[in-house]
Amino acid sequence: MVRTKVLTPLEIYKVLDKTNCKRCMLPSCLAFAAAVIGGQKSLDDCPTLAEDLKEQLAGNLCKRSTADPEQSEFMAKLFKKITRVDFHEKAGEIGAEYINGQLHVVSLGKTFQVDSDGGMRSECHIIPWVQAPLLSYICYPTHRQVTGRWSSFRELNGGIEWQGLFSSRCETPLKRLADAKPDLLADIVDLFMGEEVEGFDADIALVLYPFPHLPILICYQAADGDLDSELTIFFDECCGTNLHIKSIYTLVAGLIKMFENIARNH
């Protein structure tokens, strides 16, 4: 099976000249390596890096559509934090497996293998919106087991502040998709190892696991006469303890974008 590997700053640093010559306009080779991972610099910006090495590295770089300095800084902090995580201890806590020094975390039915320096491999293409929340999930200081009780997004820690964006980028587009392609939600269950559940006031209620201890519940009610359709995404009460609200938003917004891409070919 082909696995995609995402590089870490350290892996890029290893192949650089390490002369800190500053010709890339950054103070050091390490700063350059972090900037490449963050999308602010390209490998071509180091004039001493050999072409064959550039080609080898480029294939494993996770491309970002924007060079967002805030996101790059956030990623650099995560790469630093993850080196201090005790993977053996963390595995049980977050519902992952510890195998040969790596954490194996199942996201939507696909296994991601995470190295102690934050490098990642998966049987599927690694997408940036999974990478940052997954590293955050591993590094997050608090953790709680799945409760089986559901909260709205606004009830999660910090949810009120992000509610507007969450509604417009997550719930509204997913409702639009479900209205236009009624079979899509059932297909999502199959594609992403979700489960249909009963006992909710909805035509379709399905649970997905973006991370083991981060279940989400999607409830959809089709339009009926004058009544418009409704779609709400709920979160297990543990979610607010297991991941920062911004990462939860990033994760779900990325998920909805992926569903939109799937729907285009549906």
Q: Does 20 bind ligand SF4 (CB under 6 A)?
A: yes
**Region of 11-19, 128-136, 171-179, 204-212 interacting with ligand SF4 (CB under 6 A):** 11-19
Site string (41-80) toward ligand SF4, x via CB under 6 A: -----x-x--------------------------------
Q: Does 17 bind ligand SF4 (CB under 6 A)?
A: yes
Tell which residue, 126, 250, 111, 198, has the closest CA to residue 207: 198
Q: Does 263 bind ligand SF4 (CB under 6 A)?
A: no
Long-range Cβ contacts of 31-34 (<8 Å, 24+ apart):
33/9, 34/9, 34/72, 34/76, 34/79
Helix (H/G/I), strand (E/B), else coil: 67: coil
- Minimal distance in Å, beta carbon 144 to ligand SF4? 42
**Region of 3-11, 26-34, 113-121, 209-217 interacting with ligand SF4 (CB under 6 A):** 26-34
Q: Does 22 bind ligand SF4 (CB under 6 A)?
A: yes
- Minimal distance in Å, beta carbon 62 to ligand SF4? 19
- Minimal distance in Å, beta carbon 7 to ligand SF4? 15
Neighbours of 100 (CB within 10 A): 6
| Cβ proximity to ligand SF4, 53 vs 222, nearer residue | 53
| Cβ proximity to ligand SF4, 17 vs 123, nearer residue | 17
The residues near 225 (Cβ < 8 Å, ≥ 6 apart) are none
Residues 125 and 222: their CA atoms lie apart, in Å, by 33
| Cβ proximity to ligand SF4, 8 vs 163, nearer residue | 8
Residues 120 and 101: their CA atoms lie apart, in Å, by 13
Q: Does 23 bind ligand SF4 (CB under 6 A)?
A: yes
Among residues 7, 8, 32, 128, which is the contact residue for ligand SF4, using CB under 6 A?
A: 32
Neighbours of 220 (CB within 10 A): 23
**Region of 16-24, 58-66, 75-83, 169-177 interacting with ligand SF4 (CB under 6 A):** 16-24
Helix-strand-coil split of the chain, %, nearest 5: 45, 15, 40
- DSSP lists the bridge partners of residue 150 as 236
Q: For residue 89, which phi and psi values (nearest 5 degrees)? A: -70, -40
Task: Please report, as ranges, the residues that interact with ligand SF4 according to CB under 6 A.
Answer: 16-17, 19-24, 26, 29, 32, 46, 48
